[in-house]
Amino acid sequence: MDDEESRQVIGMENVRHDVRDKVQGRTVYGSDVSLPGQLYAAMKKSIYPHAKIISIDISKAKAVPGVRAVITGKDYPFHFGGFLEDQPILAIDKVRYWGEPVAAVAADDLRTAEAAARLIDVVYEELPVVDSIETALKAETLLHDDWNAYEKKGNCHPIEHSNVVDRFVLKHGDIEKGFAEADVIVESEFRCGMLQHTVMEPHSAVAVADEDHIRVYTPCQSPFAVRSQIASCFHYPLDKVRLTCTEIGGAFGCKAEAKAEPLAIALALETKRPVKLVYTRDDEFATSLARAGVLYKIKSGAKKDGTIVALQNLVYWDTGAYATFGPRVNYNAGYAATGPYHIPNVLIDSYCVETNKALGSAYRGFGVAEAACGYERQMDRVAEKLGMDPLELRLKNVLRDGMESPSGEVMKAVGVGECLEKAAAEIGWKDRPHRWVTEDGKLHGLGIACFTKISGTPSTTSCTLRMNYDGTITLNSASREMGQGVTTTLPILAAQSLGIKVENIIMADVDTDITPFDKTTTSSRSTFHGGNAVLAAAEDIKKQLRKLAAVKWKIDFDNTDYVNGRIINKLDESLSIDVNEVGKSGIMVEQEPVIAVGKYGTSDIFDPPVQETHQSKRPTVMWMMGANAAEVEVDPKTGKTRIVKIAAANDVGKVIYPLGCKQQIEGGVNMAAGSALLEEMIYENGILRNGNMVDYKVPTFMDSDFETKVILVEVPHAEGPYGAKGLGEPGTAPTAPAIVNAVSTACNTDIKSIPIKPERIILGQEG
């Protein structure tokens, strides 16, 4: 670490902070937590998707030796939810989805709890099942009688006497005028299936609670948001609720809100003992969270030259039985539903519709990947109708610096055009046909798709840095590591700013009692927001170190500087202190650390959207964007699609951690490939028919045997840390539509839903 070059951290390859413990099996996940005297919980779940609860007989369960408590919804009649507090801890009076918990047991051991739960007798009276968007919209059966009975906790606009829990409208220009001006009009639909996050680690919570305090050990991804939900649910002051966070074995949005926590807390309150609740895989499928299914009804108007002049996108989210993060999906995907295009006349009318199904909530991208399926399949249809090349059509309309987005913002630092061109070049878009048949009769096709995505705004984050005596830094941030690499990226930013080694940054554990506030670990915001907070704290650390050195040197502060990991004495350079020697240098007293607080918030720059049109000069602090190109091979005999290659180009603003960027995009591509080709929660009259890891098809390594070429485009964001933008979710977004477009081209058809079903391709049901 002698010269400037050796202190370069950003853009260099570093070892992931979390990798050693994970590989060596030392990481402590949620279910690894055990407390003295703890009880084990099990749930009794509904066997009907929609039914009145007539009676619950818990007497047999209570009589089982070792059972300490059996509770039903009426014992803890509280509701929770981040946007609408509509979800009971246990169903009260009626169940709204198959697998909804109706009672729970706490016992000395898990087997006893499970056995006792089976002995609970519930008498139901079945109700008509709202099993689809279409049924829900008829409003003949309502899941919830009165939206006003629930407290609103976030942006949420239910429609009275309906199953619509949220409506989002984005209006720009004059949609009727736009269509009137169009030379061609294309109307079509697209559907995406309901998905499970299928995280490796199921939901869990170990709760300790009394009348004054609640403490939960949980692998949740947004500790402060979950804390708010719990505090509100149980009517405790915020800071009497404490979340001690364990490491996360996968989240992707399904751990962004309360799930196992409220029930574990209720049982802990009931028994006055610690209670551990770990979801089984059955519980995960039946009663955790899901990506909502969605239906797009899209109408586009274009000029002959390819100029898109109007886009109407009617969106219907099949969001399941409770609101959860559905309204936020509706909002985020609503802004995304125009695509990254300059379109003068736009109407997005998006409905979040409740049905008797599992709970559609946050899932990597908050609906943005689904939205891209809708508008990007549509772009290919428009191109076909116009006889244009799909890439050319996109490049003609794509947003560029200085253009106004359909949301009303004058765009800056827009790299999506470059992403399109680079992804296309990588897949050989201009060098070869977009469809060909191999000698053995396999159909090959190329497809391309791009996307744009907002990051939740406004939001705040804070952190502390503690410069330790031995030259290390302790970084205290609530941005949760969930595989995305934030515990590597934030240290890299701190190390770069302070000129120390990245391995000398220690990430503190996350606990709401100790860790500074961070709104959520969602929305691809951690590098941008958390990174800015880290840099602010690092600047303060430098200032404090200079002050300490100035005292030691008996010189003015202005005669000090901090350059490249050295505290500089401008009057006598030979006295300058390497920050790695800060303890030995004697500027610290004993081992007293230098502590700095860093904050970053976007409430100042946020321009609140007009409610009726959602137009805003700055609806988001940061737009993310990218483009994928795909080559696929379809076997016409089996209808099966094999991905040959994905070229994935993302505008990351600035590469902070190359391996991390690559892993994020590769992971996102693989995950989205599952949504395109394999995954779907299949409901029959409200009952989940494939709720297990055999019948629900998650991509395995065998399915991921294709080439992913990652292309990192750097169009720096003026406000990002060193120019960086977010990258947590984008990898997923343009993957499925690129595959859908490639399969459509390969098969000379028009795929209208995902997952793409081989049987429909064989039977010619698509297109």
When computed from its CA atoms, the radius of gyration of the chain, rounded to whole angstroms, is 27
In the shown chain, the binding pattern of residues 598 to 627 toward a copy of itself, with x for contact by CB under 8 A and - for none, equals -x-x-x------------------------
At 19, give phi and psi (nearest 5°).
Answer: -75, -35
Q: Residue 585: count other Cβ atoms within 10 Å of its Cβ.
A: 19
Assess 458 for contact with a copy of itself (CB under 8 A).
yes
Choose the stretch contacting a copy of itself; rule: CB under 8 A; options: 105-113, 316-324, 381-389, 591-599: 591-599
Assess 139 for contact with a copy of itself (CB under 8 A).
no
| Helix, strand, coil percentages, rounded to 5, for the chain | 30, 30, 45
Backbone torsion region of residue 356, taken as left when φ is above 0, otherwise alpha when ψ lies between -120 and 50, otherwise beta: beta
Q: Residue 275: count other Cβ atoms within 10 Å of its Cβ.
A: 31
Assess 239 for contact with a copy of itself (CB under 8 A).
yes
Non-local CB neighbours of 264 within 8 Å, separated by 6+ positions: 41, 205, 206, 207, 216, 275, 276, 277
With 0-12 / 13-18 / 19 or more C-beta atoms within 10 angstroms meaning exposed / middle / buried, residue 12 is middle
In the shown chain, the binding pattern of residues 257 to 276 toward a copy of itself, with x for contact by CB under 8 A and - for none, equals ---------------x----
Report in angstroms how near the CB of residue 745 gets to a copy of itself at its nearest. 46
Report in angstroms how near the CB of residue 595 gets to a copy of itself at its nearest. 4
**List 157, 519, 709, 717, residue binding a copy of itself (CB under 8 A):** 519
Assess 25 for contact with a copy of itself (CB under 8 A).
yes
Assess 469 for contact with a copy of itself (CB under 8 A).
yes
d(CA 277, CA 279): 6
Assess 200 for contact with a copy of itself (CB under 8 A).
no
With 0-12 / 13-18 / 19 or more C-beta atoms within 10 angstroms meaning exposed / middle / buried, residue 491 is buried
Choose the stretch contacting a copy of itself; rule: CB under 8 A; options: 28-36, 73-81, 129-137, 310-318: 28-36
The helix/strand/coil state of 57 is: strand
In the shown chain, the binding pattern of residues 356 to 395 toward a copy of itself, with x for contact by CB under 8 A and - for none, equals ----------------------------------------
DSSP string, 638-696: T--EEEEEEEEEEE-SS-S-HHHHHHHHHHHHHHHHHHHHT----EETTEES--STTTS
Non-local CB neighbours of 253 within 8 Å, separated by 6+ positions: 197, 221, 289, 291, 325, 361, 362, 363, 364, 366, 522
Report in angstroms how near the CB of residue 509 gets to a copy of itself at its nearest. 7
Choose the stretch contacting a copy of itself; rule: CB under 8 A; options: 421-429, 594-602, 653-661, 739-747: 594-602
In the shown chain, the binding pattern of residues 2 to 21 toward a copy of itself, with x for contact by CB under 8 A and - for none, equals ------------------x-
Report in angstroms how near the CB of residue 459 gets to a copy of itself at its nearest. 7
d(CA 322, CA 87): 6
The helix/strand/coil state of 374 is: helix
d(CA 753, CA 193): 8
Positions 549 through 588 that interact with a copy of itself (CB under 8 A)? 583
Q: Are 672 and 729 in contact (CB under 8 A)?
A: no
Q: Tell me how many residues contact a copy of itself (CB under 8 A).
A: 55
Choose the stretch contacting a copy of itself; rule: CB under 8 A; options: 165-173, 181-189, 444-452, 502-510: 502-510
DSSP letter, residue 503: G
**List 455, 468, 522, 526, residue binding a copy of itself (CB under 8 A):** 468
d(CA 731, CA 368): 11
634 has which bridge partners?
443, 641
Choose the stretch contacting a copy of itself; rule: CB under 8 A; options: 323-331, 424-432, 593-601, 754-762: 593-601
Choose the stretch contacting a copy of itself; rule: CB under 8 A; options: 129-137, 392-400, 486-494, 515-523: 515-523
**List 462, 496, 521, 569, residue binding a copy of itself (CB under 8 A):** 462
Report in angstroms how near the CB of residue 183 gets to a copy of itself at its nearest. 48
Q: Are 664 and 731 in contact (CB under 8 A)?
A: yes
Q: Interface residues with a copy of itself (CB under 8 A)?
A: 20, 24-26, 28, 32, 34-37, 208, 210, 212, 224, 228, 237-240, 242, 272, 458-462, 464, 466, 468-470, 472, 474, 476, 504, 506, 508-509, 511, 513-514, 516-517, 519, 583, 589-593, 595, 597, 599, 601, 603
